[in-house]
């Protein structure tokens, strides 16, 4: 760990001459002070400190590392057992010096930082640096430097990301196997998350496990399962060191897709496969998104749901009636990696979000580079807020065959999502161990 952390610091020093202080943040109380949400250190801190220390800060300056953390209160040993001392932690992460937190005030001169999510620590950051923190000036420079590093995952990061992906794969397999005997969404969620917990990992984000996949950010799990339902599960793991995975599969509870479900599933899968086949260093991610849109449009035309020329349909955002989100996002220490920096990480310098319906939700608009990890997650949804909107129905009146569409009412939401690493000469799908083919998924469920 020492060696990789040193390499990260040296790389940062090349890009950023300012001294840098990164805070880890503190645990947040849930309903009373001693009942706290599980602590999650700031991802930027984790990247350079390697381990999730609570209430700590590190200073990075010309490749040197200083650690600021208080030794555990001896009176708390009764409750928490022996916990590592500052000197032991400093040694473990290869710090050049280590101080109690009270010393930090004397080391903040000219330092840049990245604001953390925890409001209490954010306040400390502002007080220590004596200013409100915005992404301007030295903070913007620092953010850009960190983005450059974190966009390309090093070997240590990849090792963690692969561990995370492999556990998420097992969670999805467990979810599929649990389907035929489960009565509620919650029971399938339990089967999936218990795999993550059993591997001593956490969920990288609040799981989506629902028969109403058309509600994109559905965090309810109380629906009963009906035999004709498709279940959409978007569940990912996070390792102890903070590295995330992000997988979605959609499967028939019964173990058999209906013909209409199968038709749409295969359209989504065709988009998924076409995107992955096209990815390699240098390709614009936005083009991958548009490729997904075109393959979706082609498929929906061939099913008779859309009418017209696929390219023209994509130009008029007709694909977005059914596929309203982006094809994916960066993945790393955060499941939407570095999204705490707004679009700074997702959008190449000088680019901004489109106001087109079919592009505005794209979270990533950069050329792919080696060691970048992204998700590919095309989907098809019948969202009533879109398809029931009178203005939209009027605008797309001539390109949607509404009668035909009504034959597909047993398809509310389908998404297929994998984690794709860009390599020097192509790609590696970190989640490839989990089948995507409808036949294979049916076999797993019925097994």
Residue selected from 91, 187, 287, 410 as contacting its own copies according to rule CB under 8 A: 187
Per CB under 8 A, the segment of 8-16, 26-34, 60-68, 160-168 that binds its own copies is: 26-34
3-state secondary structure of 232: strand
Q: How far is CA 340 from CA 9, 135, 287, 333, in A?
A: 21, 11, 25, 11
CB 376 within 8 A of CB 296: no
Per CB under 8 A, the segment of 58-66, 187-195, 251-259, 263-271 that binds its own copies is: 187-195
Please tell me the distance from the alpha carbon of residue 339 to that of residue 344, in angstroms, as a whole number: 8
- Residue 90 phi, psi (nearest 5): -55, -45
Residues 46-65 contacting its own copies, CB under 8 A: none
User: Which of 121, 436 has the CB closer to its own copies?
Assistant: 121
Please tell me the distance from the alpha carbon of residue 225 to that of residue 183, in angstroms, as a whole number: 5
- Distance, CA of 150 to chain centre: 14
Per CB under 8 A, the segment of 57-65, 144-152, 310-318, 329-337 that binds its own copies is: 329-337
Q: How far is CA 350 from CA 343, 346, 358, 365, 443, in A?
A: 11, 11, 20, 11, 48
Six-digit token pair at 366? 């950069």
Residue selected from 14, 73, 88, 117 as contacting its own copies according to rule CB under 8 A: 117
User: Which of 330, 438 has the CB closer to its own copies?
Assistant: 330
Please tell me the distance from the alpha carbon of residue 319 to that of residue 323, in angstroms, as a whole number: 6
Residue selected from 160, 234, 246, 334 as contacting its own copies according to rule CB under 8 A: 334
Residue selected from 56, 145, 195, 416 as contacting its own copies according to rule CB under 8 A: 195
User: What is the nearest approach in angstroms of its own copies to the Cβ of residue 297?
Assistant: 20
User: Which of 77, 127 has the CB closer to its own copies?
Assistant: 77
Residues 231-250 contacting its own copies, CB under 8 A: 242
User: What is the nearest approach in angstroms of its own copies to the Cβ of residue 30?
Assistant: 5
User: Which of 98, 157 has the CB closer to its own copies?
Assistant: 157
User: Which of 194, 398 has the CB closer to its own copies?
Assistant: 194
Residue selected from 159, 340, 348, 410 as contacting its own copies according to rule CB under 8 A: 340
User: What is the nearest approach in angstroms of its own copies to the Cβ of residue 387?
Assistant: 11
CB 430 within 8 A of CB 246: no
CB 29 within 8 A of CB 35: yes
CB within 8 Å of 144: residues ≥ 6 apart = 15, 344, 349
Per CB under 8 A, the segment of 9-17, 73-81, 91-99, 422-430 that binds its own copies is: 73-81
Closest CA relative to residue 414, chosen from 203, 207, 205, 212: 212
**What's the distance, Cα to Cα, between the start and end of the chain in Å?**
42
Calculate helix-pair angle for 259-278, 285-302, nearest 10 degrees: 150
Per CB under 8 A, the segment of 195-203, 265-273, 280-288, 310-318 that binds its own copies is: 195-203
Per CB under 8 A, the segment of 37-45, 150-158, 392-400, 414-422 that binds its own copies is: 37-45
User: What is the nearest approach in angstroms of its own copies to the Cβ of residue 240?
Assistant: 8
Decide if residue 288 touches its own copies (CB under 8 A).
no
Residue selected from 189, 286, 289, 415 as contacting its own copies according to rule CB under 8 A: 189
Residue selected from 15, 101, 151, 186 as contacting its own copies according to rule CB under 8 A: 186
Residue selected from 212, 249, 286, 319 as contacting its own copies according to rule CB under 8 A: 212
The DSSP code for 132 is -
Residue selected from 160, 193, 417, 419 as contacting its own copies according to rule CB under 8 A: 193
Per CB under 8 A, the segment of 31-39, 53-61, 132-140, 400-408 that binds its own copies is: 31-39
Please tell me the distance from the alpha carbon of residue 438 to that of residue 178, in angstroms, as a whole number: 17
Residue selected from 17, 62, 127, 194 as contacting its own copies according to rule CB under 8 A: 194
CB 162 within 8 A of CB 429: no
Decide if residue 355 touches its own copies (CB under 8 A).
no
| Mode of pairing for the β-strands spanning 29-32 and 35-36 | antiparallel
Residue 98's H or E segment, with its range, is strand 97-99
User: Which of 248, 436 has the CB closer to its own copies?
Assistant: 248
DSSP string of 324-359? -S-S--B-SSSSSTTGGGTTTTTB-TT-----STTT
Decide if residue 387 touches its own copies (CB under 8 A).
no
What is the size of the binding site for its own copies (CB under 8 A)?
A: 63
Please tell me the distance from the alpha carbon of residue 280 to that of residue 363, in angstroms, as a whole number: 19
User: What is the nearest approach in angstroms of its own copies to the Cβ of residue 337?
Assistant: 9
Closest CA relative to residue 19, chosen from 200, 176, 117, 141: 141
Applying CB under 8 A, which residues contact its own copies?
A: 28-38, 40, 42-43, 74, 77-82, 117-120, 184, 186-187, 189-191, 193-200, 205-206, 212, 214-219, 221-222, 242, 324, 333-336, 338-340, 383-386
């Amino acid at each position: 760990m020492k060696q990789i952390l040193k390499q990260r610091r040296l790389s940062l020093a090349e890009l950023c001459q300012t001294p840098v202080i990164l805070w880890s943040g503190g645990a947040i109380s849930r309903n009373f002070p001693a009942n706290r949400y599980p602590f999650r250190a700031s991802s930027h801190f984790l990247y350079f400190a390697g381990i999730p220390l609570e209430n700590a800060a590190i200073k990075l300056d010309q490749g040197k590392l200083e650690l600021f953390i208080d030794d555990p209160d001896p009176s708390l040993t009764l409750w928490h057992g022996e916990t590592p001392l500052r000197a032991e932690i400093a040694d473990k992460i290869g710090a050049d010096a280590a101080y109690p937190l009270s010393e930090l005030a004397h080391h903040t001169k000219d330092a840049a930082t990245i604001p953390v999510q925890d409001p209490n620590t954010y306040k400390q950051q502002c007080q220590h640096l004596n200013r409100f923190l915005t992404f301007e000036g030295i903070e913007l420079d620092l953010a850009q430097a960190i983005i450059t590093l974190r966009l390309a995952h090093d070997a240590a990061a990849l090792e963690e990301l692969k561990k995370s992906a492999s556990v998420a794969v097992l969670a999805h397999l467990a979810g599929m196997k649990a389907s035929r005997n489960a009565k509620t969404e919650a029971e399938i969620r339990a089967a999936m998350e218990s795999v993550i917990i059993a591997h001593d990992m956490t969920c990288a984000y609040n799981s989506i496990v629902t028969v109403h996949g058309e509600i994109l950010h559905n965090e309810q799990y109380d629906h009963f399962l009906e035999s004709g339902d498709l279940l959409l599960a978007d569940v990912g793991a996070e390792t102890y060191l903070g590295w995330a995975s992000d997988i979605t599969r959609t499967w028939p509870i019964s173990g058999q897709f209906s013909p209409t479900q199968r038709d749409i599933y295969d359209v989504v899968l065709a988009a998924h496969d076409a995107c992955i086949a096209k990815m390699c260093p240098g390709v614009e991610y936005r083009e991958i998104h548009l490729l997904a849109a075109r393959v979706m449009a082609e498929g929906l035309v061939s099913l008779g749901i859309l009418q017209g020329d696929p390219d023209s349909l994509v130009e008029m955002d007709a694909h977005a009636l059914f596929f309203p989100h982006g094809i994916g996002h960066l993945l790393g220490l955060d499941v939407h990696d570095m999204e705490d920096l707004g679009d700074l990480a997702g959008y190449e310098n000088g680019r901004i979000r489109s106001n087109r319906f079919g592009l505005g939700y794209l979270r990533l608009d950069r050329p792919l580079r080696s060691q970048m990890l992204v998700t590919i997650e095309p989907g098809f949804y019948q969202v009533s807020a879109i398809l029931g909107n009178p203005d939209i129905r009027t605008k797309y009146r001539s390109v949607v065959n509404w009668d035909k569409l009504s034959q597909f009412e047993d398809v509310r939401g389908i998404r297929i999502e994998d984690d794709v690493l860009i390599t020097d000469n192509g790609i590696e799908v970190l989640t490839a161990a989990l089948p995507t083919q409808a036949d294979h998924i049916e076999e797993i469920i019925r097994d």
